[in-house]
């Protein structure tokens, strides 16, 4: 069992939007590349980055699971490509997340870093700022990381997991962090919550301090820790693919739940994303990337909440009515993981709504 924490981070690599540059401009959906090659490309896109900082950005991308160890896009990488916008605007302007990107990064970071984000959320609720007068960055990082590993230790089901988690928890508490290590460990988590609109940054010159956001954002933080009260719940929400539904409530998007989903309402948007994914040269379309892109598109554009489970039901209903045109491929657990559509069904919906989101 691996805690959902992004552990190897760097103070310069503290913006979620960096991942968008790395995926869309520095890596490939089908071609592998060395870490150093991807890092070198990223330094050309972000001029303030040296090669060492860019290397940590590659680590972050792999930790988020948007690229694999060979730096080829995963299903999450395809999701980034579908929803993220990279333009010729100055970098500082592109660090702000639009509505699609907020939902995208909420899902990416909760799945990869949810344990730390929830720990920070509870700390902010309890103390109103981070760090507060009782904590500097090093002691705060030591305490939060140590607590996370101890909580996962209580959830571990195998001896090997318990030994690994106990060893890491003891190491963190025993060695602690010194110098700038604490800041390096904390900034990506905090800045992500800030970009999601769940925290504010206090105006404080060179020193960073994050505080409870005003108005509805403070309520959003409360909703987050209520909806995902512990790490057991976090694991269940991710397993059941309910992050978009949680995001709808936490980010206060206000999407309404509807039961009247059908092939005719879902497929025009689905086919647009399907064609984009398949144009990269993949033989099969990763269902999670396709499904989450469709969910986010409906939520932002139409304020309608389509659950992942309902989306699968619509696909199965369409499969029954179009035998041979829609095929699922399952993963090792027997769950639908990939989709293959016939040219006939792609053409039949391509002229209905072929708007290119990105």
**Max CA-CA distance within the chain?**
65
Cα–Cα distances in Å, from 217 out to 21, 144, 156, 256, 276? 27, 23, 34, 20, 34
Helices (H) and strands (E) in the chain, counts: 16, 8
- Percent of the chain at pLDDT above 70? 97
- Name the architecture of domain 257-350: Orthogonal Bundle (1.10)
Give the pLDDT confidence score for residue 74 in this predicted structure. Answer: 98
Phi-psi region of 211 (alpha: psi -120 to 50; beta: other; left: phi over 0): beta
Tokens 């720990």, residue?
A: 119
Give the pLDDT confidence of 169-199 residue by residue, as tens digits: 999 989 988 888 888 889 999 999 999 999 9
Q: How far apart are CA 261 and CA 295, in angstroms?
A: 12
Q: Six-digit token pair at 43? A: 């330094």
Query: Quick one: average pLDDT of 194-222?
Result: 83
Helix (H, G, I), strand (E, B) or coil at 80: helix
Are residues 54 and 40 in contact, defined by beta-carbon separation less than 8 angstroms? yes
Give the residue range(s) of CATH 1.10.10.10 domains in the chain: 257-350
30 CB-contact burial (10 Å; exposed 0-12 / middle 13-18 / buried 19+): exposed
Go through the chain and tell me how many residues it has. 358
For Cα atoms 282, 288, 291, give the angle at the middle one, nearest 5 degrees. 105
For the whole prediction, is pTM greater than 0.85? yes
- Mean of pLDDT over the chain: 91
Helix (H, G, I), strand (E, B) or coil at 31: coil
Write the DSSP symbol of residue 96. Answer: S
Give the pLDDT confidence of 271-294 residue by residue, as tens digits: 999 999 999 999 999 999 999 999
What is the phi/psi pair of residue 215, to 5°?
65, -135
Q: How far apart are CA 203 and CA 71, in angstroms?
A: 37
The closest alpha carbon to 165, from 178, 142, 177, 149, belongs to 149
Tokens 């719940």, residue?
A: 233
């Amino acid at each position: 069992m691996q805690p959902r924490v992004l552990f190897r981070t760097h103070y310069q690599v503290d913006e979620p939007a960096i991942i968008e540059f790395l995926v869309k401009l520095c890596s490939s959906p089908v071609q592998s590349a060395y870490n150093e090659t991807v890092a070198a490309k990223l330094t050309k896109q972000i001029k303030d980055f040296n090669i060492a900082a860019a290397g940590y950005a590659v680590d972050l991308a792999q930790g988020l699971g948007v690229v694999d160890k060979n730096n080829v896009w995963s299903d999450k990488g395809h999701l980034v490509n579908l929803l993220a916008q990279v333009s010729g605007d100055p970098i500082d302007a592109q660090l702000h997340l639009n509505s699609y990107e907020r939902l995208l990064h909420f899902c990416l970071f909760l799945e990869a870093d949810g344990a730390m984000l929830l720990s920070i959320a509870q700390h902010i609720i309890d103390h109103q700022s981070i760090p507060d007068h009782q904590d500097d960055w090093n002691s705060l990082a030591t305490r939060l990381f140590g607590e996370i590993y101890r909580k996962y230790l209580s959830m571990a089901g195998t001896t090997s997991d318990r030994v690994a988690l106990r060893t890491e928890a003891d190491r963190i508490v025993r060695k602690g962090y010194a110098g700038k290590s604490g800041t390096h460990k904390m900034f990506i988590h905090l800045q992500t919550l800030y970009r999601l609109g769940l925290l504010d940054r206090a105006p404080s010159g060179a020193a960073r301090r994050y505080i409870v956001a005003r108005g509805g954002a403070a309520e959003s933080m409360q909703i987050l820790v209520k909806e995902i009260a512990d790490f057991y719940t976090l694991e269940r929400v991710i397993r059941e693919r309910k992050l978009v539904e949680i995001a709808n409530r936490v980010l206060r998007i206000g999407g309404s739940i509807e039961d009247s989903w059908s092939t005719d309402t879902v497929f025009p948007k689905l086919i647009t994303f399907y064609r984009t994914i398949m144009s990269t040269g993949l033989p099969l379309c990763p269902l999670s990337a396709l499904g989450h892109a469709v969910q986010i598109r409906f939520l932002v554009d139409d304020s309608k909440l389509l659950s992942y489970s309902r989306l699968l039901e619509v696909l199965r209903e369409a499969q029954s009515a179009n035998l041979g045109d829609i095929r699922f491929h399952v993963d090792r657990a027997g769950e639908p993981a990939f989709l293959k559509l016939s040219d006939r069904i792609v053409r039949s919906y391509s002229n209905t709504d072929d708007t290119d989101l990105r």
